Structure 1
């Protein structure tokens, strides 16, 4: 079966999709086949398409239909469990994990499962998106937005991943906007305190180009055992 990683972030709007696309491009450059799935996305257009899911679909090598890349597409750009409630449906970690397994068994060498928001985004009153990763039993890659507060957010997220019994395989430092004050010092602190290797430091790229961003990613740290 494919090597699969769950992509989470330290918050929303940290660049999970940008980094996921960079990882997919890096894998393609290494000669690997790739696929990705965003099991639930809130913030879809009138056609039921989500911008992030479309970016993943374009970046991967396998030609999968949109409905398989983003099986649960919710229109309002709000918390998924609230959007689902407004749409009269419920979200289940088991069901979402089952939808992810379809992509995991698609034959790709590398599969990325991208979450929504951060690690503890609710699916309902008792489950969060973390439960999808737990059901799948896959390693996690964390995207850290290099901005004020990143150290606390990254350490808390890493602790939550470990507390849930999963392994943090690596993390990516992403700069989603202007370079933060004391960037180098913050990065050094994170490298010393996080219990996983830094897979890359992606600078601010405008307009964003996943091919360029992939040049800052070192896949060997997670794919070479």
Structure 2
């Protein structure tokens, strides 16, 4: 059971989380959920989020959509602002209570994908990271490798460790195909990150989840 966090909004959390599930389902059962999602599409079945649907596609254990993505908002804005506009309240306890009801113990590999970065606000001084702390989830950190990512990765790691979080591993996702000195940046990350690298996923314009999975090593998780 892992929580997938990212260094920022566009680091490729869903892409890597889906690839992790794809890799894991080659040897066992899987379940991925995304409790909070903005930017959902209105459909005949209700609000649907492409990130949540990607996790569902890579999960062998099928749940109702609302179990996978209980807090869904149409506008592509910060979730706590979207919730406020609807007169709703996002709280760590409500999110944790929902996650505690899910059958994570019935699968071999499960993950919860976050939203935004580590300090996603929920409102009233609370953050999504409070849920991770409350439930003691180990974290897989997705680093979107681009200019500035060293700072983002190290600050995120620093915040997680200060929160007492166990970082089980990190993934380098090469989001910028034109980045200067990519190998040197990866070398720096390998030196400064406190957990093992689970893989380096090259820039894949096709967003091929199966191909991305071939670059991951789940055996490196600690």
TM-score range for the pair, normalised by the shorter chain length: over 0.9
**Structure 2 residue aligned with 1:16:** 13
**Structure 2 residue aligned with 1:203:** 202
Q: Is the 2:190–2:197 Cα contact (8 Å) retained in structure 1?
A: yes
TM-score with structure 1 length normalisation?
0.94
Over 3 Å counting, the alpha-carbon distance change for 1:10 and 1:76 in structure 2 is: same
Distance across 1 between alignment mates of 2:60 and 2:176: 28
SS in 2 for 1:113: strand
Distance across 1 between alignment mates of 2:64 and 2:204: 29
**Structure 2 residue aligned with 1:75:** 74
Matches within 5 A, 1:26-175: 26-29=23-26, 31-47=27-43, 48-105=47-104, 107-175=106-174
Q: After alignment, is 55-64 or 173-182 more displaced? A: 173-182
Distance across 1 between alignment mates of 2:172 and 2:104: 29
Distance across 2 between alignment mates of 1:116 and 1:159: 19
CA-CA distance at 1:216 after TM superposition: 0.2
| Count of aligned pairs | 219
TM-score with structure 2 length normalisation?
0.96
Distance across 2 between alignment mates of 1:138 and 1:104: 15
CA-CA distance at 1:106 after TM superposition: 5.5
Q: Deviations over 1:139-178 (max 9, x none)?
A: 1110001100010000000010011111111100001232
Distance across 1 between alignment mates of 2:4 and 2:62: 21
Q: Deviations over 1:85-126 (max 9, x none)?
A: 011101011111121222344611111111100000100122
Structure 1 consecutive aligned stretches of length 4 or more whose deviation exceeds 3 Å: none
RMSD: 1.1
Of 1, 5, 10 in structure 1, the residue corresponding to residue 2 of structure 2 is 5
**Structure 1 residue aligned with 2:22:** 25
**Structure 1 residue aligned with 2:219:** 220
SS in 2 for 1:35: strand
Q: Is the 1:68–1:103 Cα contact (8 Å) retained in structure 2?
A: yes
SS in 2 for 1:46: strand
Gap regions ≥5 residues in structure 1: none
Distance across 1 between alignment mates of 2:81 and 2:50: 19
